[in-house]
Chain A
């Protein structure tokens, strides 16, 4: 550990991200409902989005055939107090105006987020491979004086393949210590556009008036496309005793930033490197299991405040239901998953920091997924 610490500290200086929400290649919906404290857990089909070293804890074969994910803004107003349990739609979208100025005033500052994804994966012992296709759209209208529309759209498609090497003295019952080193390579085709447009300015007006076809519209909005290869690495330390396990993990995703060779457009937004630390403690049995997790994300980002990097999460596994709760860098997250034989429905809500400082601007989102035909068998 003493020899590793300088190495980790050196890595802390190699890159940075700038502001607002850090955009990862992908996230686990379960992880998001646990405050995204998932680096030292990562035990679902999204392992390779978090830490390739977590493959070291996997045994047998696990197949996720589809792993769909769907996220959209949380427009519900929820009051869960005992004397007034109430859920309704926010006033922002009631009696919605039809004139441009009225619409602009209503949606000013409201983050619009839509994510659609399919991430099938196979894990065989310490090897894992995942295909992914994730579309993310972020839109927000800013500046009450002279509104500008900020748009960030990305479609990422590709694969990640990784392997973890175990070292240590864990016996056949799973008791003992183990140290794991993991690495994964990934190929990403990224398409997207990112820009800022004055809502009442000549650019958008000219675009709308000359709207001829989708291809020319997206080109005028700054669309670009490219391919790139990326590398993730990670380490993990596990101490197990019976069904209890303590895990400490560190992952370095997109080593040196993942850059894209541009095929079309002015240039594709790179995927920033991130250094993430995580700890988790899990225990229980097949009828009642629990996990607690603590993460520290983006350690190398000089702009994000310390409190905005801290994530806490907890998970309770019951026979046909899992409960999630977390604290995602200042905002609560919670959700539930229900299992019906080969069907798994997960729904929940989480908050995310969209501003530059801690508790500055909250994005509220809903997650929904329906998994079919996920298999696991031991070999």
Chain B
């Protein structure tokens, strides 16, 4: 009686002790999430990945989590890849070309797809729980293969998000021409340029730029910006900084990824060309800031807000000028 009872208890203990390790459970969750993303079941994939707790230092997890958010953001790299083949990669044409992609139309910065794609990008840019965004800081937290894979995935999403940003704020048409869509807004400039030189009536920034021979057509006035970026608009600094951060991270990613194929040399030259522009215009830290919170802190200081507006003129308005 005692012997069979002992055997039974031993069996029950062993049966109850059966189970998988935490890593095996994690692998199972990752597999489930991948299958759900294959079926484009975005919310279900996010839910699965949430079961395991956020893993700041697991590159595969972060890439999958970013994919799930990008799924909610209406993004897929296979759709983007076909459009990238037709992308104009010259400095003068790239922003307009991005805004003319089929995935670019968006209605506002509060649009859920826009927000989710931004969250997907941030998942990878802040990988490793870094507080100051840069490819170098991510490389310090991950091995070179993982860092490189995350950079490439982030690059595709940043290109798509920049297309949406400039479609929205640049009022671009299907050909990527600034100020040409005229629906729902009719702005010819990205933002208002608010710094006036005495009573001259023109923006100091714009006047200085025109004096230097720059061209930013059709933007001509100092109060012709998109409603989200107009002087006094709520969250203006946040949305201004979104553009700056996206662009600076694009340059940072391009300088840390080896690209091959036609026209990639123009992309690789973009960082040095923009760097030259920044140096000429004396724009300072705005040309290298890659962290949203740091940029917004800068924008709260009038002198730095001037630099941000100058950045918009010198870089964005010129790159989005008539194609």
A168 within 8 Å of B (CB atoms): no
Per-residue contact bits, chain B 43-80, to A (CB 8 Å; 1 contact, 0 not): 00000000000000000100110111011000111110
A145 near B148 with CB under 8 A, answer no
Return the CB mask of A95-109 against B: 1 if under 8 Å, else 0: 000011110110011
Interface centre among B11, B85, B145 (most CB of A within 10 A): B11
* Residue contact B260 to A205, C-beta cutoff 8 Å: yes
Min Cβ gap B77→A in Å is 5
Tell me whether B19 is interfacial, beta carbon within 8 Å: yes
Q: Secondary structure of the A side of the interface? A: loop
B34 to chain A, nearest CB (A): 5
Q: Are A18 and B76 in contact, with the CB atoms below 8 A?
A: no
| B15 within 8 A of partner (CB) | yes
Name the residue in A12, A101, A143, A201 with the highest tally of chain B Cβ atoms < 10 Å from its Cβ.
A143
B149 engages A143 (CB within 8 Å): no
Contact B82 A142 (CB under 8 A): no
Docked-complex contact A6 and B11, CB < 8 angstroms: yes
Number of interface residues of B (CB under 8 A): 46
Quick one: closest B residue to A2, CB to CB?
B4
Chain B residues in 8 Å Cβ range of A147: 77-78
Q: Which residues of A contact B145 (CB under 8 A)?
A: 203
| B residues in contact with A12, CB < 8 Å | 14-15, 18
Instruction: Find out whether the CB atom of B11 lies under 8 angstroms from the CB atom of A10.
Output: yes
Query: Which residues from 252 to 278 on chain B have a C-beta closer than 8 Å to any C-beta of chain A?
Result: 257-258, 260
A100 to B7, CA, bound (A): 61
Given contacts A99-B82, A101-B79, contact A303 B149 (CB under 8 A): no
Q: Mark A138-173, 1 if CB is under 8 A from B, else 0.
A: 000011111110000000000000000000000000
Tell whether A302 pairs with B11 under 8 Å between CB atoms, given A144-B76, A144-B78, A201-B152.
no
Q: What chain A residues lie within 8 Å of B82 (beta carbons)?
A: 99, 101-102
Interface 9-mer from A235-243, A353-361, A368-376: A353-361
Give the size of the chain A interface in residues (CB under 8 angstroms): 40
Task: Compute how far the CA of A148 lies from the CA of B75 in the bound complex, rounded to whole angstroms.
Answer: 15
Nearest A residue to B21 via CB reads A16
A146-B77 in contact given A18-B24, A18-B28, A109-B38 (Cβ < 8 Å): yes
A12-B18, A13-B18, A203-B149 known; A145 vs B77 contact (CB < 8 Å):
yes
Report yes or no: B63 in contact with A146, Cβ–Cβ below 8 A.
yes
Beyond A18-B24, A361-B35, list 11 extra A-B contacts (CB 8 Å). Answer: A105-B78, A143-B64, A144-B78, A146-B66, A146-B153, A200-B152, A300-B18, A302-B18, A303-B20, A356-B31, A356-B35
Interface residues of A, Cβ cutoff 8 Å to B? 6, 9-10, 12-13, 16, 18-20, 99-102, 104-105, 108-109, 142-148, 196, 198, 200-203, 205-206, 209, 300, 302-303, 355-356, 360-361
